[in-house]
Each structure stands twice: as C-alpha cells, then as structure tokens.
Amino acid sequence: MIVFTIWAITFASLVVHATATSCLNCAALDPSFNATLQSQLLMQSDVFFYPVVVQKTPACSNSLNVEEGDIGNLYPTIEGEICSKFSRCITLFPNIPNTTFVVRGCLESVLRYKFREDRRLQSPGCYLLRSSPSYPNVLALEFVACVCEGDYCNSASVADVDSSSAFGDSDVRPLGTSSDLLNSSTLFTATFPIALLFLSVFSV
C-alpha cells in the first residue's frame, strides 16, 4: 500500500510537471537609475516582487530566442521556472524610455496579489499597470506587463510604449497583444510622471 501511494504521488508530480508552463526567470537592473529611483522601484510593493533572489543579468533585457531545453546552453545566466498556479509567463518593466530594468518569470511569482488575481491579466497581451502606493513618500509609477501563454514565451525585448491615454478609474489599461508591442520595429514615445523625471535627474 505504501509503495502504491509513493508511486501515485510520483506519477501525479510527473503529470503536473509535464503539463505545467515553464517561463524564463531572470531580472536586469538599469545602471542609469540613481539610488533614489532604485529605492522607488523597491517600494512598489503593490505591483510586483522586486528581484532580490531572482538571477540578475544584463542579458535578461535583450530579446531571448530560446527553445525548450536550450536555456542553459544559450544563456547560462538565465534560469527557467515552472508555474504552479497560472499557465502564464510575464515580462514586466517600468514605463521609462530606454530602460533596461526588466523582470521575467511566471505571472504568479512576479505580480503581487492585486494584479495577478485580476482576470484581465489572465489573457495574453500587454497592459499598462499603475501603482497605488500606501506611503506618501512613494511615487505612483507605471509598469508595462506583457503576459503570454506557452513555454518560455516571455522572451521578447523591452519596448517603450505610449502611455498618453488616461487610466480612468482602473489601474490596468490594455495596450494590445504582446507580439504587436514587443516585436514591433517601431517603438512608441513613452511619457512618465514629471515627479519621476525630477527624481531621475536631480536626486543623488
């Protein structure tokens, strides 16, 4: 009976892993960000998990042409992650022109509860997310979240986006499909809060 139970658990585990989605799991920081801007990103606790433990490498901000099983050979500094709840991968970065800051991984491990449980973000596509800071000294920033379905689908390069439209009453605004946005040869002109520009230029 014990042997059968162990076999059943092992078989169930193999089935889950065989059907689960695998995503690229890495992060790239932006060396052009000063300490103040870095700390603002660190305190965006309602949008995403800041990449403290995630493997950090500049290669993460590039377009990653990978196929299942080739990650270790092509990009030894980038890991894979098996999703346990949602079969969705995500590429997330702040809506700041020419940024190299990016986080890639499973939807459930990158987004905080408020956004990962939002049904709109369960559909493949790119979305503009607006943070709602809990503290007066933390800025409300905008982030681009591109959601996709399929093993290692979160491999496209980072693009600037047009955020000129108003959010209205929502913290989520659709931008289009991830393939249209991230694989487009023509990048849009990004706009971002004046307060963020002030921090980036004048803070030390």
Residue 7 pLDDT: 39
List C-alpha distances in Å: 133 to 46, 114, 119, 128, 138: 7, 13, 22, 16, 6
Q: Give the C-alpha separation, 54 to 63, whole Å.
A: 18
Window from 47-51, 77-81, 101-105, 197-201 with minimum mean pLDDT: 197-201
Q: Give the C-alpha separation, 156 to 159, whole Å.
A: 9
Residue 78 pLDDT: 86
Residue with tokens 């092992």: 10
List C-alpha distances in Å: 197 to 4, 12, 34, 183, 188: 62, 51, 11, 27, 18
- pLDDT greater than 80 at residue 151: yes
User: Which among 14, 193, 15 has a CA at the least distance from the CA of 97?
Assistant: 193
Residue 11 pLDDT: 35
Average of pLDDT values for 174-187?
54
pLDDT tens digit sequence for 52-100: 888 899 989 988 877 655 676 777 788 889 998 888 999 999 998 889 9
* DSSP label at residue 48: B
pLDDT tens digit sequence for 34-56: 999 888 988 888 999 988 888 89
Task: Output the pTM of the full model.
Answer: 0.76
Average of pLDDT values for 145-170?
77
Residue with tokens 């607006």: 130
Task: Calculate the dihedral angle through the C-alpha atoms of 138, 124, 108, 45, rounding to the nearest 10 degrees.
Answer: 0
| CB of 179 closer than 8 Å to CB of 50 | no
Quote the tokens at residue 174.
Answer: 């659709």
